């Protein structure tokens, strides 16, 4: 670097014409002006999926299965049959069912955090092997080694079940890159919560996904409280669907308590991604009725607030009401509930009667190959 002349002032830099910045590569880009990228207008053209009676009944049954399964899991946890942490999905059922009903089975991949039982059930995975995994049994889908937070099924392209907050999003970026590399037309649906939405790796992944136009859907399950702090106290921007704007990732604001709205939003988002236009960020506004985990008394909110959500926004009751209006009988829906309760009870019996993994299993599944 040249020094200023001794005894004098440093020379002034050459004057730059006021319009010279227009000639720089950055300002020659298309869409150089700041734009709030959004798919919201497209979403609002048709808010709710026009489901047939059979489709809506199927979604109702899936949500009810998740609800009854999670209620039973909570009971087993209280009895000491489920150890470690256990995060229930009660209240959020419409998100997993609505989104995953729009996926292409056997092609698309899914990855999520540790509140994962509902996502696996929404995928149609056998409740027996999920409950067996929760109770640490050899018959579990992860051979009893994953428990509540680390379920996995390559057969169903379900890649976890991850305990590190937000880490699954970066891994989801890798899954999306694999889809793009293979050219198979698939996409990765990566779930994370409002708490994880403040993690740095989420935005690193958004940046790369946008740069490379990866086939990826960032799905924020905003249940309002993360681990126990309201979004208003923890997040400067509480409209999470706007979070992708800096990376030119279009966002969508979705009512996550309405399974048909979630499904319709999925149709819009997935079509955008499959067209090669890059990733989409979906904010699914939902609500968990239970604490963050079974050990959380949830004293940061009132009982009245929870009850109000149950009475006015419950996704299962909303679907049930619509089915009744379509002519499905109350007796038929009661029979459905009985059948699902029987299925869940059978899964609990299966789990309790299954053996635990032998001690020798501690030395398996450590490395990819045998050495």
What are the boundaries of each domain within the chain? 48-348
Q: How confident is the model at residue 30 (pLDDT cuts 50, 70, 90)?
A: low
Check whether 19 has a pLDDT greater than 50: no
233 and 286 Cβ atoms separated by less than 8 Å: no
Q: Which two tokens stand for residue 260?
A: 């048909």
User: What gap in Å lies between CA 305 and CA 82, rounded to an integer?
Assistant: 29
Residue 111 CA to residue 100 CA, distance in Å, equals 11
Closest C-alpha among 184, 166, 188 to residue 175: 188
Q: Which residue did the predictor score with more confidence, 12 or 272?
A: 272
Residues 62-79 have pLDDT tens digits of 999 999 999 999 999 999
pLDDT tens digits, 282-337: 999 999 999 899 988 899 999 999 999 999 999 999 999 999 999 999 999 999 99
Count the Cβ atoms, other than its own, within 10 Å of residue 321. 11
| Mean pLDDT to the nearest integer, 242-257 | 95
Question: Whole-model pTM?
Answer: 0.89
CA distance 149 to 223: 18
Q: Which residue has the tokens 């999926």?
A: 49
Q: Where do the H-state alpha helices sit in 236-369?
A: 259-274, 303-313, 315-325, 330-353
CATH superfamily of domain region 48-348? Thiamin diphosphate (ThDP)-binding fold, Pyr/PP domains (3.40.50.970)
Q: List the beta bridge partners of residue 192.
A: 220
Question: Are 97 and 66 contacting, i.e. CB atoms less than 8 angstroms apart?
Answer: yes
pLDDT of residue 35 exceeding 60 = no
HEC string for 69-128: HHHHHHHHHHCCCCCCCCCCCCCCHHHHHHHHCCCCCCCCEEECCCCCHHHHHHCCCCHH
3-state DSSP call for residue 32? coil
């Amino acid at each position: 670097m040249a020094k200023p002349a001794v005894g004098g002032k440093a020379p002034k830099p050459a004057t730059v014409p006021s319009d010279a910045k227009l000639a720089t590569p950055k300002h020659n880009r298309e869409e150089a002006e700041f734009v709030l990228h959004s798919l919201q207008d497209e979403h609002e053209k048709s808010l709710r999926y026009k489901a047939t009676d059979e489709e809506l009944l199927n979604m109702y049954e899936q949500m009810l299965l998740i609800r009854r399964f999670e209620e039973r899991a909570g009971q087993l946890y209280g009895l000491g049959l489920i150890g470690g942490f256990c995060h229930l999905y009660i209240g959020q059922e419409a998100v997993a069912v609505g989104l995953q009903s729009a996926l292409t089975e056997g092609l698309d991949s899914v990855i999520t955090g540790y509140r994962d039982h509902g996502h696996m059930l929404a995928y149609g995975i056998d409740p027996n092997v999920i409950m067996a995994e929760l109770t640490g049994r050899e018959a579990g889908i992860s051979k009893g080694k994953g428990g509540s937070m680390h379920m996995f099924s390559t057969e169903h392209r379900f890649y976890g079940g991850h305990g590190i907050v937000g880490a699954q999003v970066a891994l989801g970026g890798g899954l999306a890159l694999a889809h793009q590399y293979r050219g198979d037309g698939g996409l990765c649906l990566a779930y994370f919560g409002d708490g994880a939405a403040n993690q740095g790796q989420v935005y690193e992944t958004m940046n790369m996904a946008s740069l490379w136009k990866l086939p990826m859907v960032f799905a924020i399950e905003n249940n309002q409280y993360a681990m126990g702090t309201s979004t208003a106290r923890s997040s400067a921007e509480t409209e999470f669907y706007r979070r992708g704007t800096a990376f030119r990732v279009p966002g969508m604001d979705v009512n996550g308590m309405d399974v048909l709205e979630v499904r319709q939003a999925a149709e819009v988002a997935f079509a955008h991604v499959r067209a090669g236009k890059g990733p989409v960020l979906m904010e699914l506004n939902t609500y968990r009725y239970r604490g963050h985990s079974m050990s959380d008394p949830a004293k940061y909110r009132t009982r009245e607030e929870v009850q109000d959500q149950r009475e006015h926004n419950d996704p299962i009751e909303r679907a049930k009401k619509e089915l009744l209006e379509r002519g499905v009988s109350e007796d038929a829906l009661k029979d459905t509930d009985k059948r699902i309760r029987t299925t869940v009870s059978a899964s609990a019996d299966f789990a309790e009667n299954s053996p635990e993994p032998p001690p020798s299993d501690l030395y398996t599944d450590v490395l990819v190959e045998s050495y």
